[in-house]
Structure 1
Amino acid sequence: MNIIIPMAGMGKRMRPHTLTTAKPLLPVAGKPIVQRLVEDILATSNEKVEEIAFIISPAFGKEVEQHLCSVAEALGAKGKICYQETPLGTAHAILCAGDTLAGNVFIAFADTLFKATFSIDTEKDAIVWTQKVDDPSAFGVVKLNKKNEIEAFVEKPKDFVSDLAIIGVYYFRDGLRLQKELQRLIDNDIKLKGEYQLTDAMEHMLNNGVKFYTGQVEEWLDCGNKDATVYTNGRILDIKHGKEELIHPSATITDSVIIPPCYIGAGVTVTNSVIGPLVSLEKGVRVSDSRITNSIVQADSIVKNACIDNSMLGKSVTYMEKPSELSIGDFSTQQ
């Protein structure tokens, strides 16, 4: 099986964090988003993954490319870098993977993490992963027939047709068939709002005999902006608590309290502080005289005399709050 990860977007909603780091390489619970995504995929399949193709912008640079290839190699697969030089839509992005579109193919867009306990049925023609949502009008959804097969893809329906929202994770048994369908869109210039869309290719495949099924995830986690990423970090910590080693043995914790679940990375020092719950301190972070909850502090940052919640600090940040001198009379309230 091959995996394709389209991730060429520049992550503008995550700025300033994406000015120096590609969004899929931002950490959640101690690992880059894209690594968590690939691990989620591998957990749903017993098949060996031969190749992982990362669709990126050439602007990401060689350091990002090397990091992505090392993620693939650590998971026992060959890493392949493919470029989408112009953002022309989801179908165009996937087509940039070239000959990775062969055999069994799993496609997942890099904004998405998910919690699932099922296994992929690789004999099915195609699977589109979904989650039930309260307001389907904001999503692309799938409509099912009585056999629980997908009979239609509906983009942001004004009237209710289904509450199963497409989360951006797909399986195709025949990658070459998909490649031909994507190329058909390009050759015939079939666009929606100026872009070539994967859903148009899937609609044509559905109308020509390919059977699509839905796989429902237990939880769909987004990393599209700061608040969503901090929330996702907390949920991953909850999910991995007790299942994954979250406190590195080289961390030094002195006169401090760690309220789980938290990720404490290699070489972290915590002094006279309270950390947690739902906090990730990446490699080399130094915290002293502080209280941190529900936050991500990236590598080699320094936090001192601070009280932080629902926050995200980048790499090599120094953040210090000045102690206050107070003179407050009886029966006062300071907020």
Structure 2
Amino acid sequence: MKALVLSGGAGTRLRPITHTSAKQLVPVANKPVLFYGLEAIADAGITDVGIVVGDTAEEIREAVGDGSRFGVEVTYIPQEAPRGLAHAVLISRDFLGDEDFVMYLGDNFIVGGITGLVEGFRETRPDAQILLTKVPDPTAFGVAELDGEGRVVALEEKPEVPKSDLALVGVYLFTPAVHEAVRSIGPSRRGELEITHAIQWLIDQQRDVHSTTISGYWKDTGNVTDMLEVNRAVLETVEPCEDGTADEASEIIGRVRIEKGAQVTRSRIVGPAIIGAGTVIRDAYVGPYTSVSEGCRIEDSEIEYSIVLRDSSITGVRRIAASLIGRGVQVTPSPRSPAAHRLVLGDHSKVQISS
């Protein structure tokens, strides 16, 4: 069995962060979300992995390498443009051959991994198996309609009027039957080859399509709100350690990981939280559910429920919350007068200012 990991896409919902970084490499608890998926695949006993890459191919290659650090062997499959999940399967035909495979969206996060799912698929081998979960807004996802006995009867991609609240989770399992399906469909109104259309083709051809509704934790980390929520969930499991240093004037409460070379001085850190390698925390408060990456500096400031990417600094700021701060960012107080906000913002930025 092989794995196909999708790591293309523009990451428009995480802009401006994704103007300069692949969305799959934005860190959750100081580890890129893509890495969690690769670890789950390896834990399921799958070692032959194809990664579909787009404009951020070089960054993905640099981060993942040959896959040996995860216990897998990686083949990179270039996709010229994000033309849909079924298109990714279509261009990966040579890599996949005639083997069963799991398709895993690289920006998805599933607590507990996929080992049980893969083992169940190997035993029953339906032509396709999909994961479903109930969501409050099905219009943002592929949606499944089930009959009275729980069988999949129809799928629809981002419907305006959903027929259920069951959204497709970004993990799919297929036999080689899916290759005929992706060749048999045409582009959707979005101009993409939709995997939901390919699975619907299998259903229409009376092929065996199974579904599993999961009640565990799943998130598509494509926006800031979900990214922070995944960060919170992962930090709940963090093991505390102090490989860095915290002076006697500092207070460390709860599950806090202080990584090698980090320095905490006259500060209060309330876990769960991670302080990255080489980061300096001085005269500051770091609250629960906060991940601070390597090489950062937080001085005379307060922050909680946030993600701070590497090499950023926050100085003299009263309180930051529910924020995603990119790489190499400098956050400082504005001058007290004149009473105006001075902003330098990239394209598609979103700013909230308290009046």
Is this a same-fold pair by TM over 0.5?
Answer: yes
Report whether the alignment pairs 1:165 with 2:162: no
String of CA shifts for 1:97-122, please: whole Å, max 9, x gaps: 23332423111223321224771212
1:230 equivalent in structure 2: 228
Cα distance change on mapping 1:97 and 1:315 into 2, 3 Å: same
CA distance in 1, matches of 2:152, 2:62: 39
Task: Work out whether residues 69 and 80 of structure 1, in 8 Å CA contact, stay in contact via their aligned partners in 2.
Answer: no
2:199 equivalent in structure 1: 202
Q: How many residues align?
A: 315
Q: How many angstroms does 1:284 deviate by?
A: 1.3
1:142 to 130, 141, 144: 144
String of CA shifts for 1:69-120, please: whole Å, max 9, x gaps: 35x3221111121111133222112222233324231112233212247712
Q: How many angstroms does 1:197 deviate by?
A: 1.3
1:248 equivalent in structure 2: 259
2:208 equivalent in structure 1: 211
Q: How many angstroms does 1:18 deviate by?
A: 1.2
CA distance in 2, matches of 1:246, 1:39: 21
Worse overlay, 87-96 or 316-325: 316-325
State how 1:249-288 maps to structure 2 within 5 Å: 249-288=260-299
Q: How many angstroms does 1:13 deviate by?
A: 2.4
1:330 equivalent in structure 2: none
CA distance in 2, matches of 1:288, 1:315: 17
2:81 to 81, 86, 91: 86
1:12 equivalent in structure 2: 12
Q: How many angstroms does 1:279 deviate by?
A: 0.7
Task: Work out whether residues 248 and 264 of structure 1, in 8 Å CA contact, stay in contact via their aligned partners in 2.
Answer: yes
CA distance in 2, matches of 1:316, 1:159: 43
CA distance in 2, matches of 1:158, 1:273: 47
2:342 equivalent in structure 1: none
AA in 2 matched with 1:52: V
1:32 equivalent in structure 2: 32
Task: Work out whether residues 42 and 71 of structure 2, in 8 Å CA contact, stay in contact via their aligned partners in 1.
Answer: no
Cα distance change on mapping 1:170 and 1:257 into 2, 3 Å: same
SS in 2 for 1:142: strand
SS in 2 for 1:18: helix
SS in 2 for 1:200: helix
Q: Give the aligned CA root-mean-square deviation in angstroms.
A: 2.7
SS in 2 for 1:92: helix
String of CA shifts for 1:219-267, please: whole Å, max 9, x gaps: 22132223332232222222x2349994324322222111111122212
Determine what percentage of the aligned residue pairs are the same residue. Answer: 29
Give ranges in structure 2 of 5+ residues lacking alignment: 242-255, 338-353
- The TM-score, its normalising length taken from structure 1, stands at 0.84
AA in 1 matched with 2:281: V
SS in 2 for 1:165: strand
- Highest RCO, 1 vs 2 (Cα 8 Å, sep ≥ 6): 1
1:60 equivalent in structure 2: 56
Task: Work out whether residues 2 and 100 of structure 1, in 8 Å CA contact, stay in contact via their aligned partners in 2.
Answer: no
State how 1:289-308 maps to structure 2 within 5 Å: 289-306=300-317, 307-308=319-320
CA distance in 1, matches of 2:11, 2:183: 27
Q: How many angstroms does 1:30 deviate by?
A: 0.9
String of CA shifts for 1:36-82, please: whole Å, max 9, x gaps: 23334455x3xx2122222111x325343232335x32211111211
CA distance in 1, matches of 2:59, 2:162: 46
Report whether the alignment pairs 1:114 with 2:80: no
CA distance in 2, matches of 1:62, 1:137: 33
AA in 2 matched with 1:256: S
2:134 equivalent in structure 1: 132
1:95 equivalent in structure 2: 90
Task: Work out whether residues 157 and 194 of structure 2, in 8 Å CA contact, stay in contact via their aligned partners in 1.
Answer: no
- The TM-score, its normalising length taken from structure 2, stands at 0.79
Give ranges in structure 1 of 5+ residues lacking alignment: 326-333
AA in 1 matched with 2:104: A
AA in 2 matched with 1:236: V
CA distance in 2, matches of 1:191, 1:101: 22
Cα distance change on mapping 1:145 and 1:98 into 2, 3 Å: same
